[in-house]
């Protein structure tokens, strides 16, 4: 479906490629302190690019960690709603370097089966997803003949997402007034497949717990005491074995009380997402079988249902050979992925209740559940904002809006902070693909996806202005 937006993107895609080529050469690895100057240079580059694009307000916001970039282009329209774009300009480390086919910070164009690709660290995660908004904004203005966007567009691009966004929530709270908005457009995700336009509609939350079980006051000789006193490792094994029941459900008391049940419509929509389970298992999952909570598909299990995973456990002797002890302590680390409307703050009591119910005599438990955690978030599938997003994506992919699929992100990120602090609903517009190898060697972006993403962004600003975003 031809449109002025598409025509502009097509005519100026070279600008997007040139921007990316320059930005991707900056190794803005936030996890490595040695790269702090590069993260700063990346922020400076982006600030300059936003100014070139025409944003009248562009600021670099220092934090206790890496700098974020803020920009704002107010709409001249009276009462225009405000959209805030979220992304990040830092990138993952590149180890193992020897597995890269091209140097990670020398962007390299490769012709692939689905079209031209650009290979580089950060190509899609997240520099590609952010850069497409530069071209998208220009296409929106050019196509609509406007001097200012139809909605006020704010942009917040942080520099620590790949390091866990340690200062992001504080930044949001500190700048809440400047960041006030009616909708957040998260551009750090992707779509189901090149020919399957889709929108993320939920992310899981996160809570973690560390458990220490104590038995004897000191490590005991198993010859003298073996078989006569409680062994904390046995207690830990029994406890962790009780974390799931025989149906794969988490046994924490009250764990499912606030879980919003999947509606038949949501399940039907998820079932429409193409998913090759065998390929998923053979590929990144690198696992032998799919498993999990009974009564749900794999896509539902990893995206729409809460889970509990033991991430680490240890205790006793772990060196070579054997040491005949009953150890004094055993330890485990567990994280829980949460879905709407679970609250991370509820987990402490739930974990304590579960441990207390499964603790054998003679064993004492220390349960540490850090305050905080990450809230789950979910978009309202029927909101006016979602309708605008589906229209924009549909136009860019030549599909009916009703054919744009919904996907769910199993991970947890700073997006929840945006909801918590700014109180605005989330939309997700990202041009990534499951095959883009983010966080791995040979990360890439499929350039046609990026062009469509830029076009969708251009449509989105127009569409958002046309729907009622604010309660009257």
Tell me which residues in 149-178 interact with a copy of itself (CB under 8 A): none
Rounded Cα–Cα distance for residues 359 and 332 (Å): 14
When the beta carbons of 285 and 348 are compared against a copy of itself, the nearer one is 285
Binding a copy of itself (rule: CB under 8 A), the pick from 102, 244, 267, 399 is: 244
Task: Please give the order of strands across the beta sheet that includes 444-446.
Answer: 108-112, 115-119, 444-446
Is residue 212 part of the contact set for a copy of itself (CB under 8 A)? Answer: no
Long-range contacts of 226-229 (CB under 8 A, 24+ apart): 226/324, 226/326, 229/326, 229/362
Q: In angstroms, give the least distance from the CB of 261 to a copy of itself.
A: 16
Q: Which is nearer to a copy of itself, 133 or 204 (by Cβ)?
A: 204
Distances in Å between the alpha carbon of 206 and those of 336, 375, 414?
Answer: 6, 7, 11
Is residue 31 a contact point for a copy of itself (CB under 8 A)? no
Question: Which of 336, 323, 365, 368 has its CA nearest to residue 238?
Answer: 365
Please identify, using beta-carbon distances, which residue of 34 and 286 lies nearer to a copy of itself: 286
Contact status: 233 vs a copy of itself (CB under 8 A): yes
C-alpha to C-alpha distance for 217 and 203, rounded to whole angstroms:
43
Interacting residues with a copy of itself between 283 and 302 (CB under 8 A): 284-293, 298, 301-302
Residue 228 corresponds to which tokens in the numbers above? 């006569």
Q: Of residues 201, 243, 445, 447, which one binds a copy of itself by CB under 8 A?
A: 243
Among 1, 34, 64, 218, binds a copy of itself (CB under 8 A): 218
385 touches a copy of itself (CB under 8 A): no
DSSP 384-406: HHHHHHHHHHHHHHT--GGG-EE
Q: Which of 213, 325, 424, 427 binds a copy of itself (CB under 8 A)?
A: 325
Q: Which one, of 429, 383, 467, 472, lies nearest residue 150 by Cα? A: 467
Cα 352 to chain centroid, rounded: 29
* 257 φψ region: left (φ > 0), alpha (ψ -120 to 50), beta (else): alpha
Binding flag, residue 223, a copy of itself (CB under 8 A) = yes
Alpha-carbon gap, residue 64 to 27, rounded angstroms: 20
Minimum distance, C-beta of residue 226 to a copy of itself, in the bound complex (Å): 5
| Strand 364-368 to 152-158 pairing | unpaired
Helix (H) or strand (E) holding 117: strand 115-119
Shortest separation between residue 220's beta carbon and a copy of itself, angstroms: 7
Residue 309 is a binding residue for a copy of itself (CB under 8 A): yes
311-316: long-range contacts (C-beta < 8 A, 24 or more apart)? Answer: 311/208, 311/335, 313/236, 313/240, 315/213, 315/232, 315/233, 315/236, 316/219, 316/233
104 binds a copy of itself (CB under 8 A): no
Is 260 a binder of a copy of itself (CB under 8 A)?
Answer: no
CB of 162 to a copy of itself, least distance (A): 13
* Minimum distance of a copy of itself from residue 127's CB (angstroms): 21
Residue 18 binds to a copy of itself (criterion: CB under 8 A): no
What six digits make up the tokens of 227?
A: 């078989």
| Residue 320 C-beta: closest distance to a copy of itself, Å | 10
The yes or no reply on residue 221 touching a copy of itself (CB under 8 A) is yes
Position among 94, 157, 193, 239 found at the interface with a copy of itself (CB under 8 A):
239
Closest approach of Cβ 322 to a copy of itself, in Å?
A: 4
Minimal distance in Å, beta carbon 155 to a copy of itself? 25
Nearer residue to a copy of itself within complex by CB, 263 or 311: 311
Least Cβ distance, residue 426 to a copy of itself (angstroms): 17
99 part of the interface to a copy of itself, by CB under 8 A: no
| Residues between 331 and 360 with contacts to a copy of itself, criterion CB under 8 A | 331, 333, 335, 337, 360
Of residues 400-459, those binding a copy of itself (CB under 8 A): 409-412
């Amino acid at each position: 479906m031809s449109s002025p937006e598409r025509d502009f993107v097509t005519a100026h895609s070279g600008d997007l490629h040139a921007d990316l080529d320059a930005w991707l050469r900056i190794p803005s690895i936030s996890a490595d302190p040695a790269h702090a100057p590069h993260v700063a240079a990346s922020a400076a580059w982006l600030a300059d690019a936003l100014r070139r694009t025409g944003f009248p307000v562009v600021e670099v916001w220092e934090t206790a960690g890496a700098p974020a970039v803020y920009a704002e282009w107010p709409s001249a329209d009276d009462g225009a709603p405000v959209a805030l774009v979220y992304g990040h300009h830092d990138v993952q480390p590149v180890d193992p370097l020897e597995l890269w086919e091209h140097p990670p910070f020398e962007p390299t164009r490769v012709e692939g089966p689905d079209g031209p690709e650009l290979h580089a660290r950060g190509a899609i995660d997240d520099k590609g997803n952010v850069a497409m908004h530069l071209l998208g904004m220009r296409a929106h203005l050019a196509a609509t003949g406007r001097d200012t966007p139809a909605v006020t567009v704010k942009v917040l691009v942080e520099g620590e997402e790949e390091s866990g966004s340690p200062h992001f929530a504080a930044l949001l709270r500190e700048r809440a007034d400047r960041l006030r908005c009616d909708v957040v457009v998260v551009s750090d995700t992707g779509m189901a497949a090149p020919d399957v336009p889709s929108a993320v509609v939920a992310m899981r939350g996160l809570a973690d717990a560390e458990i220490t079980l104590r038995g004897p006051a000191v490590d005991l000789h198993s010859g003298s005491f073996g078989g006569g006193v409680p062994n904390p490792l046995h207690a830990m094994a029994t406890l962790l074995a009780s974390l799931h029941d025989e149906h794969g459900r988490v046994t924490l008391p009250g764990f499912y009380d606030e879980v919003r049940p999947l509606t038949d419509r949501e399940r039907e929509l998820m079932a429409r997402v193409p998913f090759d389970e065998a390929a998923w298992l053979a590929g990144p999952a690198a696992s032998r079988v799919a498993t999990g909570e009974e009564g749900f598909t794999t896509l539902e299990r990893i995206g729409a249902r809460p889970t509990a995973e033991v991430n680490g456990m240890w205790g006793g002797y772990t060196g070579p050979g054997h040491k005949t002890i009953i150890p004094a302590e055993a330890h485990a680390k567990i994280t829980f992925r949460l879905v709407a409307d679970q609250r991370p703050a509820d987990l402490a009591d739930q974990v304590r209740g579960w441990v207390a119910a499964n603790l054998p005599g003679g064993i004492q438990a220390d349960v540490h559940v850090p305050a905080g955690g990450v809230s789950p978030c979910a978009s309202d599938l029927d909101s006016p904002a979602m309708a605008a997003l589906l229209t924009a994506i549909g136009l860019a992919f030549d599909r009916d809006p009703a054919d744009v699929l919904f996907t769910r992100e199993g991970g947890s990120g700073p997006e929840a902070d945006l909801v918590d602090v700014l109180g605005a609903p989330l939309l997700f517009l990202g041009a990534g693909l499951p095959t883009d190898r983010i966080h791995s060697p040979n990360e890439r972006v499929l350039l046609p996806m990026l062009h469509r993403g830029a076009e969708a962004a251009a449509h989105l600003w127009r569409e958002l202005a046309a729907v009622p975003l604010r309660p009257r």
